[in-house]
Structure 1
């Protein structure tokens, strides 16, 4: 491995190893691919047996795994040898491994884990649909089948800090791990000389935020069906050990115009793997007016911060305004901090109000989990599968104009998602990152109350968030 290879944004400068010789992390015996390949050694080609188990490339010796490499965020590209033909080069930490043979099925499988080169050979950029401080988003087509995608392009020159690299790895890792019909799909990742390219599904319906603005406040029945779909997606996210931490109408998309049957949660830039001891690099993050009070208060928190945000969304859909409506931005933050909710402004049935208060209980121990909320009586029709599919017809009503307070929130926080043509991306360098769990999320269920003997206790090192790059905010002394 003495050939000079291209530097990669994803390489860890503190790591030089390629192959790992100890036991595989996964005890699963399933091999997704296994075949004899040719590798070059001492100017000659030798036959060897390789296998793939999820995102691990295995090197066998006498039917036993001799060594392996984690392929997540390694670089993969086709190569051609005049004698051996077409092969694949896997690069990681400035080292590489090449193999030749029937490699096309391997390349097609590994593209879901590896970073590819030569983006322009696969996609054609059509038009810019979003702009941010660190990235641009384009509508694009696949050159092979003409399918449409959203391409999120990060300029590497603007991602110079170590935290930027770790943040990108975390976001990509989480999006690859979560596979749910109501979560935006990340298909593949490319790296070029100047940019990183994330290939995402193209959502034509725009943001839920835009839909709410032009529609009358929802009826209880319409709200019920939408909240049920969102909770199912949130439950799936939590089952993967992930906290989203920035659920709001701007980060919930419609796949098709005015179709609330097919919603999609996006923007995982502030998501992180659950840490029982609160080891997140940035703990106070999100958008004021949409976050749980314990997150603002620097208390230990868990998955239930997302549940509180779902409750805020439910309130907005029914009441047509924020539960923390105030005279200015600071007033909104204070109301959010102390969980001062005017439940009387939300006209709901008794059972609906019972659910809303369960979602927005300021005590996270008593707050409902996603599973408990899905089993609530308010969703009885959904749970019995008697509820028919629905479409929201275009309303002639117009939601009230944004109040001065809402305009202040819009000015001081990120109110857009990068995957919609209607978006105006504010900044795309996420923070919520912890290096120790970049590769694999912990196997943790929704946190039982026993894990929180004192939610009021503060964690050492939690301070004000530093100047905003995205969905982060500084608070005046509270």
Structure 2
């Protein structure tokens, strides 16, 4: 792979992200709350002046004695520079061939704008590792920050492939970047920074080392408690997006990862390329002319809710559905494919949740149901206490799988509880430390402790009597006189 070439100050004119607008704007369309950063020396058009800088969201406000100017920093090209005379560290912001330089304490500015601007020195900051994914016009690699070795994921997009056919993929990438810059939630992918070279775009995000959610679901045994907590995490995340008027519209197993493969609370939703955003009471959808805005929002909301619910159903029934096909069926209120839901043997609140989403019971609710209302359902207010076996009502058996390192301990099923209860009633356990004079009646079952004792004694007998067949020694040990 070619190294990034140092680019000219006006590289922004040929940047992939150049939208043709100017660097500065003289007014805003709405009121914003700005944070004052400090005083800086601004160099623009070979003139240097002292200015105050304030920042709000994606806007930098520049205040001089006689004027105020604004810079919308989304997709503005960024570069760190040194003052030619004082060698003071500064930054250069450029767009569509225009650029301005600022010198002063730039650390605070950098913290606030790093996710919005486009840098050009990726290979000076990161070292590429192994490939972990690939698409039509992009590849995903593990990357290491050269400064401290911190691990990240980097999506390397081929600019030529991205724009060769049509603008769909380009628009989806710009749409995803716009959303990643706005969101800040523990269960959503975190954007680190963006770079551009002559050939590629580098999108640096956090590294989700837990892999796909579906891999963990079928690899480990999770309890109902863990799965309900996963449900809660997913609906809380979806509620966060919907309150920001962001609709994902492409929720499926392939777009849900884990940070920790054995911790369902570390779930993380990715891939916002097909998402829709409502801004300033108008939708970004191209189909707006054909739909009432409120109806379209309701449609988007239902689609996301059904997609999440279908994933949760898949976890319980251990079956992968064709997500897009099933969601379409549900949106048309065709519940025939999910008639089995009414026969699922689950906790009543959990059973009620699935019946509301996948049966006629929720036909009149789904049009007005929101994530906020779903989170108020009884299933999310359960006190997760270990259940007793229905057979005894008093026997509490805790299980522990040494291979599991999840923060939750799986609960035994009702069948396991019943079997263990019957087994414990039938056992008459001997004291393993008793002498050999104690006799165990032959008609009694052996406990696991007894088997361990016999196995240990068999091993010792075989060592002493090398010539005696192992089967004879075992027969002797299992006789009533042992």
Q: TM-score, normalised by structure 2?
A: 0.68
- In structure 1, the residue matched to 2:175 is 170
- In structure 2, the residue matched to 1:257 is 261
Shift in CA distance, 109/178, structure 1 to aligned 2, threshold 3 Å:
closer
8 Å Cα contact 2:213-2:261 kept in structure 1: no
- In structure 1, the residue matched to 2:159 is 156
- In structure 2, the residue matched to 1:312 is 310
Among 8, 22, 28, the alignment partner of 1:23 is 28
- In structure 2, the residue matched to 1:5 is 11
Shift in CA distance, 58/330, structure 1 to aligned 2, threshold 3 Å:
closer
Shift in CA distance, 280/244, structure 1 to aligned 2, threshold 3 Å:
same
8 Å Cα contact 2:191-2:206 kept in structure 1: yes
Deviation string for 1:248-273 (max 9, x for gaps)? Answer: 22211111122213111112222221
Task: Output aligned runs, 1:137-286, within 5 Å.
Answer: 137-160=140-163, 161-215=166-220, 219-274=223-278, 280-281=285-286
Shift in CA distance, 40/324, structure 1 to aligned 2, threshold 3 Å:
closer
Counterpart Cα distance in 1 of 2:40 and 2:296? 55
- In structure 2, the residue matched to 1:106 is 109
SS at match of 1:97: strand
Shift in CA distance, 10/253, structure 1 to aligned 2, threshold 3 Å:
same
- In structure 2, the residue matched to 1:341 is 337
Q: CA deviation at 1:382?
A: 6.5
- In structure 2, the residue matched to 1:359 is 357
Among 121, 125, 131, the alignment partner of 1:128 is 131
Counterpart Cα distance in 2 of 1:363 and 1:274? 26
Root-mean-square deviation (CA, aligned residues, Å) is: 3.4
Counterpart Cα distance in 1 of 2:326 and 2:199? 43
Counterpart Cα distance in 2 of 1:213 and 1:204? 17
Q: CA deviation at 1:18?
A: 2.0
Structure 2 unaligned segments of length 5 or more: list them.
Answer: 1-7, 289-294, 386-404, 412-482
Q: CA deviation at 1:371?
A: 0.7
Task: Output aligned runs, 1:459-478, within 5 Å.
Answer: none
Structure 1 unaligned segments of length 5 or more: list them.
Answer: 284-296, 396-478
Counterpart Cα distance in 1 of 2:407 and 2:100? 52
8 Å Cα contact 1:258-1:393 kept in structure 2: no
- In structure 1, the residue matched to 2:41 is 37
SS at match of 2:11: coil
- In structure 2, the residue matched to 1:79 is 81
Deviation string for 1:325-353 (max 9, x for gaps)? Answer: 9xxx9899768754433242443333222
- In structure 2, the residue matched to 1:410 is none
Pair member with larger Rg: 2
- In structure 1, the residue matched to 2:424 is none
Shift in CA distance, 228/251, structure 1 to aligned 2, threshold 3 Å:
same
SS at match of 2:299: coil
Shift in CA distance, 74/382, structure 1 to aligned 2, threshold 3 Å:
farther
Shift in CA distance, 343/299, structure 1 to aligned 2, threshold 3 Å:
farther
Counterpart Cα distance in 1 of 2:43 and 2:317? 65
Q: How many residues align?
A: 368
Counterpart Cα distance in 2 of 1:391 and 1:302? 35
Counterpart Cα distance in 1 of 2:56 and 2:331? 46
Task: Output aligned runs, 1:276-425, within 5 Å.
Answer: 280-281=285-286, 301-322=299-320, 338-345=334-341, 346-360=344-358, 361=362, 365-366=366-367, 368-381=369-382, 391=407
